[in-house]
Amino acid sequence: MYATDNVTESKTIQRIYLEDNAIGDEGAQFLAEALRNKTTLASLQLTNNQIGAKGAQYLSSILQNNVRLTKLDLRDNNIGDQGALCIANALQDNMTLTKMNLSFNRITATAADQLYVLFQNKTELVLFDLKGNDGCDNAAIAASFQIRNNMVTFIYSISFANLYSYFGYRKSWN
């Protein structure tokens, strides 16, 4: 019996927490198939599982129909620009998502800008973490969200490398 068999047989699933399991794209595919008709999932945390763009595409197929998801944590994977945009497009109609963590996923500034455009009208999104992605300027993205909402609702993190580059300092470890 596989873990996905239990997921398939269960009628109600609210949270899935699979951290550091190295499920990869294939595991993401199995999980997506098991969750295909589950619309009660409120929290999905798949931190550090070696999920790439293909795995993100599989997951986006189930996220598109889920109207209860409030938290999505895919940090420390390798979904890249394509995977991040696939996930974001799938969540366009989700009005309950409040927290999304895509930190350390090799997302570029170009994709970060596109993510901002996709999420600019989602006032319920209060945490959107992109730290540790190449070229992502969290401060600028955060400021855009704050101005949009006319209040501080966007929580962000800036890695040391981004902080140094943001203020024009050179990193020196000597």
Look up residue 78 and give its DSSP letter.
B
Give per-residue pLDDT as tens, 119-161. Answer: 877 778 878 888 888 766 555 555 555 545 544 344 444 444 4
Task: Pick 109 or 147 by higher pLDDT.
Answer: 109
117 pLDDT more than 70: yes
pLDDT at 145: 57
Q: Which of 92, 58, 64 is nearest to 46 (CA)?
A: 58
Q: Is the dihedral of CA 165, 125, 127, 105 positive or negative?
A: negative
Give per-residue pLDDT as tens, 62-93. Answer: 998 888 999 999 999 999 999 999 999 999 88
Give the C-alpha separation, 64 to 37, whole Å.
11
Q: Which of 44, 34, 37 is nearest to 1 (CA)?
A: 34
pLDDT at 155: 42
pLDDT at 119: 82
Give per-residue pLDDT as tens, 22-70. Answer: 999 999 999 999 998 888 899 999 999 999 999 999 999 999 888 899 9
Complete domains list, the chain, with CATH? 3-167 (3.80.10.10)
pLDDT at 136: 65
pLDDT at 84: 95
Q: Which residue has the tokens 């999420």?
A: 119
11 pLDDT more than 70: no
The answer to whether 70 and 100 are in contact (CB under 8 A) is no
